[in-house]
Structure 1
Amino acid sequence: MRKITFNFKNLVVCLFLVLSLFLSAQETTFVPQKYTPTEPGCVLPVGEFEGLVSVPRALETEAKMKAGATPCATFVVNYTGFTPEAQAAFQFAVDIWANSIDSPVPINVNATFSSLDPGVLGSAGPATFLTSSASGSQPNIFYPAALWEKLEGADRGQFGGTNDINANFSSDTNWYYGTDANPPSDQIDFVTVVLHELGHGLGFTGFADLTESFPDDIGAVRETNNNIPAIYDTFTENGSGSAILSFPDPSAALGTELVSNDLYINAPTSVTQFGQGGTLPQIYAPATFNGGSSIYHWNTPSFPIENINSLMRHQVGAGSANHNPGPITLGLFQDMGWSICSGALSVEDITVSNVSISPNPFRSSISINLSNGFNNDYEIGLFDINGRLIFENKKTIENGTIFIANLDQLEDAIYFLKVTNETTGTSIVKKVIKN
């Protein structure tokens, strides 16, 4: 029989190694830094009437919602003070976002419908910001709660609270609760405002602020107590290409940047979706700093209300509706860490397959037939084989068809017809023959 010898020294060494490994594991457990705002960071005021404009849902989103398909994300909304029609419109907006972004973790929203300050349509923001150690996240960067949970793949309950977004909406506004994106000229489209505010809650926000002082105003863009920026701000730069985070913080130099009207988002997917030959999408940085509006909206002149990317402008007026988050916003969200639903980022509403030209060859007129279902305005351009523009016009589609007449003066030749959707900015080019 083998004799077992007890070696006390070896036992002590083993216990020491086990204890060291345990303490090492305890020391490397990541505990996120956290910041909880005292109020929603973004406020949406009433804008002026700019005309009757309707930007519908993305076709893929519309098809999925009508079919009752399983969305990419689950929103759980705690409603306070909502009327049944307001709640139904709110849920419609929620469903658009649920079919635009992808998350394995439910997104919890506290939504309140009550009297707000005069002229304010709504306000919203993340309930909490946290730093993350998840794969693909950036160190020492604050992520909004819903995005943090998506990155971590778990609810943040262990770090206090489960609500992700706080949102408030005015119960005194003359709202349009329809879901067809066609509000009358005297009503504000509720779905548009809810979509807008949820966009802030999901991450279209940060900590930029300006403190009035003499002789120079002092700007800051990091959360004061933790000296940590939000993920949104990591993509912000000025027209010279200097990152906003490269300026001393706080400082007068940073304050000058915040009111320069010269700030842009340089996020690769967002820039690609902008599709302006490398030009960056501009954000709202007016000469007078407006807390709750400045920095965390797209620049108003750059994105008129009929533009597909106009949802996240700093105001919403009566008569206009946008039920599409917009490709540059979704592109920015993807660069921040969100996953985007299949088809939600595509704006190919006019393609070779859904545009037909007849007759071709033509003699004096052309009918352009579109099967994309968009009742938008289109810009029509006719180019010769050398690329010279010889005909240009703006047309409104009628019953799926755009009709162009009085072309009989053209020489018999090969031409290229360019059709551009003025709402989405997408275009298609078809070769046509005149004989």
Structure 2
Amino acid sequence: MIKITSISKRLCCALVIFSGFSLFAQDNINEVHVHTPSRPACVLPPGEFTGLISVPRAPETAARMEAGGSPCATFVVSYNGFTPEAQAAFQYAVDIWANSIESPVPINVNAQFTSLGAGVLGSAGAATFLTITSGAPGSQPNTFYPAALWEKLEGEDRSMFGGSNDINANFSSDTNWYFGTDANPPAGQFDFVSVVLHELGHGLGFAGFANVEDSFPDDIGDIRFNGAASIYDAFIENGAGDAILSFPDPSAALAAQLVGNDLYCNGPTAIAQLNQGGTLPRTFAPTSWQPGSSYSHWNNSTFPNGDVNSLMTSSIGPGQANHNPGFITLGFFQDMGWSICAGALSVEELTVENVSISPNPFVDSIDITLKEGNVSDYSVSLIDINGRFVNTVKQDNNNGTLTLSNLNNLDTALYFVKITNEITGNSITKKVVKN
């Protein structure tokens, strides 16, 4: 049977009114709850011009796109009000996501080009959130998943629960857009590809249910619908390590956390991608609740303009482009349940299998060979057993080999070689012996 329910709340970071239904199996044992927002979850305002900034596609993603093979996921887009130029740029952004995440089920997107009013470049969110009852590997019970991720985990389309659209996305028809795909917009234009990537990221799952309501004498925070939070919410904690879901809901105490400028993502893969000794990626929690921005973005100062992980921060300025979802965002997506295309995460780049060092033992020099096609800037450090840095050099990997030389004066002993990707921050350490 179908039980009809209704609720009225705000989702994530913008005003959203929810209505929902729960579909029960005939034996009433397995119960899938479905909540459908009537408005997009998150909005992206324009930022100020801070200079010409360009973050291109990740090399692995670019290589897959240019090879023309099958992507890791299939997106089916319904375009409304798009010019051919805008549609081509949108499709380029779609292809970046399609070569970053994996899904066996097509991801359906409804894209609308329309007037959004002053101060909004785009808005988007999952068309529907559903709970998983099948026990799909890695899934959490009593937790809402965005439609596209639910379908990926369940391996089937959700049409039996009503509707076929997974993501609703809107883009301003009043903005001076740059529709090029080279990540080099001029100073007076906004990069359309970057905004599409950002909004699709929200639709794929970078959005939580938290909200702060104005109330007297204290503001009230809430984070659940019918007793369940989103999978995004399950990975947020404060600086003291207290899970955001551990606070009473609704409550003033929860509201204080949501505007405390002290929230972080504790997803283990996201943390590994940050690669700063266990430091957690910081989320956007300004001291004044900002509908459309607060909670469901990365912190702007932690990931400033030009940082490879800055795509999912809360604004973008003219002349600024980022065509890379970012290793930390993809790591967070993997924590939430997405599978990531091979090579898209930096933890796969520097591994024991992908890095070889010779000779070992060494006398005068060390050659570090990285896997073919791994082109980036690296720092290579030689560290003694007391943790002292004996030698550090920065090199590019255009020839496939990094070298430490002039080591003949070192004492015979055990040393460590640390190789760090200067762009991603990912590193690996290996033991070597000096003869």
Question: Same fold by TM-score, threshold 0.5 exceeded?
Answer: yes
Instruction: Note if 1:191 corresponds to 2:193.
Output: yes
Q: CA deviation at 1:424?
A: 2.1
Task: Name the counterpart of 2:324.
Answer: 324
Aligned residues: 401
2:57 alignment partner, SS class: coil
Task: Name the counterpart of 2:158.
Answer: 156
Task: Name the counterpart of 1:143.
Answer: 145
Q: Distance in 2 between matches of 1:391 and 1:47?
A: 42
Q: State whether residues 25 and 31 of structure 2, in contact with CA within 8 Å, keep that contact through their aligned partners in structure 1.
A: no
Correspondence list, 1:72-221, <5 A? 72-136=72-136, 137-221=139-223
Q: CA deviation at 1:227?
A: 2.8
Instruction: Note if 1:265 corresponds to 2:265.
Output: yes
Q: CA deviation at 1:46?
A: 0.8
Aligned residues: CA RMSD: 3.6
1:250 alignment partner AA: P
Task: Name the counterpart of 2:288.
Answer: 288
Q: State whether residues 207 and 296 of structure 2, in contact with CA within 8 Å, keep that contact through their aligned partners in structure 1.
A: yes
Greater gyration radius: 1
Q: CA deviation at 1:50?
A: 2.7
Q: Distance in 2 between matches of 1:332 and 1:398?
A: 28
Q: Distance in 2 between matches of 1:331 and 1:340?
A: 8
1:77 alignment partner AA: V
Q: Distance in 1 between matches of 2:306 and 2:381?
A: 20
Q: CA deviation at 1:238?
A: 0.7
Q: 1:84 to 1:42 in 2, by over 3 A?
A: same
Task: Name the counterpart of 2:69.
Answer: 69
How big is each residue's C-alpha offset from its partner over 1:65-104, in whole Å with a ceiling of 9 and x where there is no partner? 1111101111000001111111111101101111111111
Correspondence list, 1:302-317, <5 A? 302-317=302-317
Q: State whether residues 307 and 422 of structure 1, in contact with CA within 8 Å, keep that contact through their aligned partners in structure 2.
A: no
Q: 1:151 to 1:371 in 2, by over 3 A?
A: closer
Q: CA deviation at 1:268?
A: 1.6
Percent identity (aligned): 64
Correspondence list, 1:299-378, <5 A? 299-346=299-346
Q: CA deviation at 1:197?
A: 0.5
2:156 alignment partner, SS class: coil
1:151 alignment partner, SS class: helix
Name structure 2 gaps, 5 residues minimum.
1-23, 365-369
Task: Name the counterpart of 2:426.
Answer: 426
Q: CA deviation at 1:341?
A: 1.5
Task: Name the counterpart of 1:13.
Answer: none
Q: CA deviation at 1:117?
A: 1.7
Q: 1:349 to 1:186 in 2, by over 3 A?
A: farther
Q: State whether residues 307 and 424 of structure 1, in contact with CA within 8 Å, keep that contact through their aligned partners in structure 2.
A: no
Q: State whether residues 355 and 371 of structure 1, in contact with CA within 8 Å, keep that contact through their aligned partners in structure 2.
A: no
2:158 alignment partner AA: R
Q: Distance in 1 between matches of 2:341 and 2:198?
A: 18
Q: CA deviation at 1:30?
A: 3.0
Q: Distance in 2 between matches of 1:289 and 1:113?
A: 28
Q: 1:391 to 1:94 in 2, by over 3 A?
A: same
1:293 alignment partner, SS class: coil
Q: State whether residues 56 and 322 of structure 1, in contact with CA within 8 Å, keep that contact through their aligned partners in structure 2.
A: yes
Q: Distance in 2 between matches of 1:272 and 1:59?
A: 20
Deviates more, 1:190-199 or 1:413-422: 413-422
Q: State whether residues 376 and 423 of structure 2, in contact with CA within 8 Å, keep that contact through their aligned partners in structure 1.
A: no
1:49 alignment partner, SS class: coil
Q: CA deviation at 1:155?
A: 1.1
Task: Name the counterpart of 1:9.
Answer: none
1:76 alignment partner, SS class: strand
Q: Distance in 2 between matches of 1:156 and 1:430?
A: 47
Instruction: Note if 1:298 corresponds to 2:294.
Output: no
Q: CA deviation at 1:235?
A: 0.9
Task: Name the counterpart of 1:49.
Answer: 49
1:38 alignment partner AA: S
Q: 1:28 to 1:380 in 2, by over 3 A?
A: same
2:54 alignment partner, SS class: strand
1:211 alignment partner AA: E
Q: CA deviation at 1:53?
A: 2.5
Q: Distance in 2 between matches of 1:151 and 1:90?
A: 26
Q: Distance in 2 between matches of 1:217 and 1:316?
A: 29
Q: CA deviation at 1:29?
A: 5.8
Q: 1:181 to 1:370 in 2, by over 3 A?
A: farther
Q: Distance in 2 between matches of 1:202 and 1:254?
A: 25
Correspondence list, 1:374-393, <5 A? 388=388
Q: Distance in 1 between matches of 2:175 and 2:431?
A: 50
Q: State whether residues 77 and 111 of structure 1, in contact with CA within 8 Å, keep that contact through their aligned partners in structure 2.
A: yes
Q: Distance in 2 between matches of 1:123 and 1:169?
A: 7
1:112 alignment partner, SS class: strand
Provide TM-score, normalisation by structure 2.
Answer: 0.80
Q: State whether residues 354 and 372 of structure 1, in contact with CA within 8 Å, keep that contact through their aligned partners in structure 2.
A: no
Provide TM-score, normalisation by structure 1.
Answer: 0.80
Q: 1:101 to 1:399 in 2, by over 3 A?
A: closer
Q: Distance in 1 between matches of 2:160 and 2:431?
A: 61
How big is each residue's C-alpha offset from its partner over 1:303-327, in whole Å with a ceiling of 9 and x where there is no partner? 1222221111111112222211112
Q: State whether residues 343 and 349 of structure 2, in contact with CA within 8 Å, keep that contact through their aligned partners in structure 1.
A: no
How big is each residue's C-alpha offset from its partner over 1:106-135, in whole Å with a ceiling of 9 and x where there is no partner? 110000112212121100000011111122
Q: Distance in 1 between matches of 2:159 and 2:61?
A: 31
Task: Name the counterpart of 1:16.
Answer: none
Q: Distance in 1 between matches of 2:316 and 2:344?
A: 23
Q: 1:253 to 1:155 in 2, by over 3 A?
A: same
Q: Distance in 1 between matches of 2:49 and 2:372?
A: 31
Task: Name the counterpart of 1:8.
Answer: none
1:80 alignment partner AA: N
